[in-house]
Chains A and B, each alone.
Chain A
């Protein structure tokens, strides 16, 4: 929630700042800037590239700020790292009281810091020392070195001057506590009494995310470099991504190879249209993901199964695209071609096929996107190699940085595929939308 508010704040500030800078710069007089009506005019709205750049930077800044990244200058407050101490008072079973001091320190991981040296203290309650792992709480068994024990009825009655009458020994017949467990403020954290009367010390956690939830950008980058060099789960990074891409391309190619002729046949023949209409219309709304279990039952978890799945994902999209492409041929073009002496085959080759290319490309872009999504999902379920398998295995070991790395790479590749398809489209179908 806080992060969302920060994000919105960055958006608004960036918007105002860019607007201010732009208003200081000289105005350009292109077609759009001279329009007085831009609200509601779709053609006057283009993506503001400055905003896009700031948007990406903002996400990285927020990501870095809340993960304590070294790459970003500003950070959300991190967890407390260092030492602390507090005083407490113990009441023995006989009603006598004695004060002691607890010393604690935060360590990076277990055993990273040496134990604090303490001197005993006077009275029956001795001073205590505790090491707490970063982001965790630590339980202080304060009676471990004392002459009076909790099991004998000793209890804490005051922490840092905050008294309590909580007694863990007072219970009802079911053994439930009669009082709420108190929490005390201590320097840089809190201390809570446990059921058994021990002290649970929670240093100040800060706003940053633990790497296990969200690793810093440089950790993810480090993983990319490391896995690119050394590989993960017996395959290099390129092999994982390459396998995923290979499946998509082969599945899509088969889908297009069958789907486009089928679509043409459905667009050109009553019998084909009637025959395949129910099948296509039934299969179209079935998400490919829903077919994964069936495909695994039929073809197993190997390459065949995945390629069949992607084939099915691409097939219907390509069929419908090709059918729409044929249906979209302007009849005057066909008439004109016949009047110019073209044969059926020549009309197919020189009129219907080129005329359906724009629709087929639209379909191909959609199909590639769906295939890419499907392959990752299929690999999540079962695979030996692949981008999806990589993040699935990593998630089982709580390797969040690999999971994030996988998601980022999957996104980049999906985006790259779409850009590539658009390039090819512009090159092959330059007349699209301009006829």
Chain B
């Protein structure tokens, strides 16, 4: 079977005081190739842990991640990662950053150069390819990160709050770019976000997770990502169903947060 399969994953961290934290419990998921899935949830629901398990940075205490029927045991180029910030290499210019993946995998420069140029064109940084990373704005840096990830041609792209550090306007532009790249490349994308609006716009499937223990609370299938491709995202937001779903999810997360607060207050 092609695609990404999470087979009843549990994650338990032992604490030094003998206690333990159940970060994830029995999470199972099938993601087909080319799907765009956003993951939402209150802090502490284990969404970053889940992404790190898929990326191969953490080994689950139970269960397994299978990509195209192969078990994931560590990080590899088939699963590209886009971080919130700080993951670019300051000692390389824009072009060298984007060409890093192919270079590490032994692709000759002559072969990768065309692709790197093309990707820089796609993310709109063609005129900046010789610039140093610290000369770019935050939005441009995230464009570089996206291009760098795509240059390696991964099967799955994992995004850990990729737009979280950007201002609202830049963020909206970048959301459009993510949709465009998704449609053009046909990659499987899993995107973690704190913003309900972003999760609605950038998710064919939207996963709401609940904390303590981290688990899948509810799943949505949404039309907004498809609508948003090449369109004005602000118009998508005026859609009636968009507003209704947004309210529903906001209430859901609000309740979870209340419950966490209540529980800590009760414990104290």
A interface with B by C-beta (< 8 Å): 330, 332-333, 335-343, 346, 350-351, 354-355, 357, 429-431, 434-435
Contacts and interface: CB of A to CB of B under 8 A. Distances in A.
Interface stretch (B98-106, B199-207, B222-230, B246-254): B98-106
A339 B81 contact: yes
Given A335-B55, A335-B57, A350-B104, A341 B76 contact: yes
A336 B76 contact: no
Contacts of B133: 431, 435
Interface string B39-72: 0000000000000000111000000000000000
Given A335-B57, A350-B104, A340 B77 contact: yes
A332 B104 contact: no
Contacts of B101: 340-341
10 contacts: A330-B86, A339-B55, A340-B152, A341-B101, A342-B100, A342-B104, A355-B91, A431-B132, A435-B86, A435-B134
Contact of A434 (B76, B85, B88, B134): B134
Contacts of B220: none
B29 to A, nearest CB: 20
A141 to B, nearest CB: 82
A355 B90 CA distance: 8
Contacts of A339: 55, 75-77, 79-81, 149, 154, 158
**Number of chain B interface residues as a range:** 20 to 34
Which 9 residue pairs are nearest across A and B when measured between Cβ atoms? A341-B77, A431-B90, A338-B75, A340-B101, A354-B91, A336-B87, A339-B81, A434-B134, A342-B104
Nearest to A432: B90
Contacts of B57: 335, 338
Interface in B210-264: none
Contacts of A341: 76-77, 101, 104-105, 152
A342 to B, nearest CB: 4
Contact of B89 (A333, A430, A434): A333
Nearest to B77: A341
A75 to B, nearest CB: 55
B69 to A, nearest CB: 20
B89 A346 contact: no
A333 B86 contact: yes
A354 B87 contact: no
Contact of B87 (A335, A357, A429, A431): A335
